Structure 1
Amino acid sequence: MTESQRWFLLICTLVLGGLVYLLAPILSPFLIAGLLAYLFDPLVDRLEERRMSRTGGVVLVFVLLTTLMVVSVLLLLPQLGRQVQVMIDRVPVVIELFEQRLLPQVEAFLGVDTSALDFGSLKTLMLGNWQETGNLMAKLAGGITKSGLAVAAWAANMVLIPVVMFYLLRDWDIVMARIRVLLPLYLEPRVSLWARECDEVLGAFIKGQLLVMLALGAIYAIGLWLVGLDIALLIGMLAGLASIVPYLGFIVGIVAASVAAFIQFQDPTILVWVAVVFGIGQALEGMVLTPLLVGDRIGLHPVAVIFAIMAGGQLFGFVGVLLALPVAAVIMVLLRHLHRGYKSSTLYGSATVAEVDLRNTEPDE
């Protein structure tokens, strides 16, 4: 690569980054639509292999996805609303349980006196904050409702996402082919190789891990519902979302479910059933879900996932969160190639060669 070509690539990268930063407020619906098109393109390709037209396959996928989303919203939102209210109503019970049962055991175990703590004032303060939080949310919702501009922007995004997704999904192969043609000839083979590796990483993580998250959330929610937990759906969804990082969903879910179950039943034996539910979930994830949905493809390291999401949100807000995982996949592939280049370079091998030469020149004793 010549010096001018390197400067050209650097300028293009800087311009692209600047455009993303400046256009961040309007990019969210396009990025969401692009992500959905990327996820469902393999399904449309399979329908094409069955001699269905591209447009027909897109329409079929679109109808199925829309139906699934509408049914999910109609079934899940009322349940989630009720379970959130149940959780809020049990805040006084949590404080009272801590004060009357847990705190005496802590005093006996540690030998400390906590009588100076005013739990009555703490209870009043927490309940007041819960009430203020509810009032604040009501005021916020009222303000959003009264703001015609905010409602119009939200409605426009909701309409724009499926429209953009439809056209991107229909023309996905054409768009990818045109991007490939636009690449400089000296970069096309290498960029194509990087693109295939990035697709493997994103396919292993996004396409596979999202399905694992959805399946785990359903398993945990159904299991906790069979146990009798009132907020089973809420905790199941929380544990499923946290499963974006391996083992984090299990830790968050079993802790939250154990606390909620003990507060509801106030019987330590219920914790055994909670452990059974999450044990079954972990066994299914390790032996069935991950091998079937993710396979042996290389995904992103959990630390890389956490850092990428936090860094993207800090730099670009919600748009940065959407871009975090694709950018992290690209960086991971580039670092892998840089590592291979470094291992095969004289910079890495010169020290070894020098040490061998030094040992060869040392006099024998």
Structure 2
Amino acid sequence: MRKIFSKWIDNYFSNEEVMLLLVLLAAALGVILYLGQTLTPVFTSIILAFLMQGMIEWLRKRNVPHFASVLMVFTLFVGILLSLMLFIMPLVWKQSINLFNELPRMVAQAKSVLLLLPQQYPDVFSEQLITQIIDLATAELSQLGQLVVTYSLNSIAGLVALLIYVVLVPILVFFFLKDGSSLVNWWVSFLPRKKEMLSQVWAEMDQQIANYVRGKVIEIVIVGSVTYLAFALLGINYAALLGIIVGLSVLIPYIGAALVTLPVALIGFFQWGWTNEFWYLMLAYGIIQALDGNVLVPLLFSEAVNLHPVSIIIAVLVFGSVWGFWGVFFAIPLATLIKAILNAWPKSHSFIQAGPETD
């Protein structure tokens, strides 16, 4: 057994580049786990700069100087950021407050509907079961109210953190756009000259991560905007809030669309009941989801990530628990990174091909 284990170690971990890669991965994981919250503005700025790098390259190919390209792209970024802060976020916040204030009426309406079930379907629903469901829902809403109160008490600290982000992130984005190549070359200068494995992994991941992140942001914007317009035309309440939720749901493959269906259906039901307007709403929502999955995703993600659905779901659960929102956002690229590392991992087949040894 010791010989087999020793050969397995020599087969997969004897290469110097493997040890270097393991050290880099361990260092990156340590930074995320212990300094992730502190360095969140830096990570956010790197991601935003990475998203805009394609626009800078497009301008440079048309003979626009680098600094001028950076200024043009950065000005566009600041304009979008100001639009979000001055128009979209206040609207979403107002609708969120209105929804929370309307929850008691919705709960009362839901109780009246649930209490009719034992009369209409006595063989399926009992009064005791309906009472338990109502008590459970009331308890959950009470916890939600306490959470809102706690958040409001901590709003000053949150406001300070938001101001830090608003000031710090644009500054970091500007310098990452302006000096990104110099910073990358400076970090690479600390690595050994022999880094074929790292180069192979980077070459495999660079284009895929770029296409995925940019495509995912475009998908969020398109799905959220179309959802808001469709819901606003149908006249449903909280159209902007639902548009944000539906747009962000595309971050979680296979699960997000199913989860966000519930709030859409509930808000539509509490507003209209079982009327034609409710079914028009669900039909529009179903069409948006179908077009997203069958038209938009194939167009945006031309280089499909070759991962099994089970691997994607596991990656979302694992990285989401480790890194929260950003873990969910980067679950598929991180899973693809692991696959690229396994493909590039140096190994000989002598251990696999050799038969069992006899003493």
* TM tier, smaller: 0.7 to 0.9
Q: Tell me the distance in 2 between the aligned counterparts of 1:316 and 1:115.
A: 41
Aligned to 1:359: none
- Contact kept in structure 2, 1:262 and 1:270, CA below 8 Å: no
* Letter aligned with residue 264 of structure 1: Q
Aligned to 1:172: 180
Aligned to 1:91: 103
Aligned to 1:357: none
Residue 211 of structure 2 is aligned to residue 204 of structure 1: yes
* Letter aligned with residue 55 of structure 2: L
Q: Tell me the distance in 1 between the aligned counterparts of 2:92 and 2:140.
A: 23
Shift of 1:63: 0.7
Shift of 1:295: 1.5
Aligned to 1:135: 149
Task: Between 43-52 and 204-213, report the one with greater CA deviation.
Answer: 204-213
Q: Tell me the distance in 1 between the aligned counterparts of 2:190 and 2:265.
A: 56
Task: Between 285-294 and 174-183, report the one with greater CA deviation.
Answer: 174-183
- Contact kept in structure 1, 2:223 and 2:247, CA below 8 Å: yes
Task: Between 245-254 and 224-233, report the one with greater CA deviation.
Answer: 245-254
Query: Relative contact order (C-alpha < 8 Å, sep 6+): which is higher?
Result: 2
Aligned to 2:171: 163
Q: Tell me the distance in 2 between the aligned counterparts of 1:277 and 1:46.
A: 36
Shift of 1:291: 2.9
Q: Tell me the distance in 2 between the aligned counterparts of 1:296 and 1:261.
A: 37
- Contact kept in structure 2, 1:33 and 1:165, CA below 8 Å: yes
Shift of 1:177: 4.1
Q: Rate the CA distance shift 1:110–1:215 in 2: closer, same or farther, 3 A.
A: farther
Shift of 1:109: 2.7
- Contact kept in structure 2, 1:28 and 1:318, CA below 8 Å: no
1:52 to 55, 64, 77: 64
* Letter aligned with residue 272 of structure 1: W
* Letter aligned with residue 345 of structure 1: H
Q: Secondary structure at the match of 2:154?
A: helix
Q: Rate the CA distance shift 1:286–1:24 in 2: closer, same or farther, 3 A.
A: closer
Percent sequence identity over matched residues? 23
TM-score by length of 1: 0.78
RMSD (CA atoms):
3.6
**In the TM superposition, what are the counterparts of 1:1-365 in structure 2 within 5 Å?**
7=19, 10-11=22-23, 13-15=25-27, 17-105=29-117, 108-109=120-121, 111=123, 112-114=125-127, 117=131, 132-142=146-156, 144=157, 151=160, 155-180=163-188, 182-187=190-195, 189-298=196-305, 303-304=310-311, 306-312=313-319, 314-315=321-322, 327-338=334-345, 345-346=349-350
Larger Rg: 1
- Contact kept in structure 2, 1:239 and 1:252, CA below 8 Å: no
- Contact kept in structure 2, 1:31 and 1:322, CA below 8 Å: no
Shift of 1:159: 2.3
Q: Rate the CA distance shift 1:298–1:316 in 2: closer, same or farther, 3 A.
A: closer
Aligned residues: 342
Q: Tell me the distance in 2 between the aligned counterparts of 1:40 and 1:163.
A: 14
* Letter aligned with residue 113 of structure 1: S
> Can you give the 5+ residue segments of structure 1 that lack an aligned partner in the other structure?
355-365
Task: Between 162-171 and 41-50, report the one with greater CA deviation.
Answer: 162-171
Shift of 1:279: 2.9
Q: Tell me the distance in 1 between the aligned counterparts of 2:328 and 2:260.
A: 23
* Letter aligned with residue 226 of structure 1: L
Q: Tell me the distance in 2 between the aligned counterparts of 1:9 and 1:127.
A: 48
Q: Tell me the distance in 2 between the aligned counterparts of 1:245 and 1:125.
A: 28
Q: Rate the CA distance shift 1:2–1:250 in 2: closer, same or farther, 3 A.
A: closer
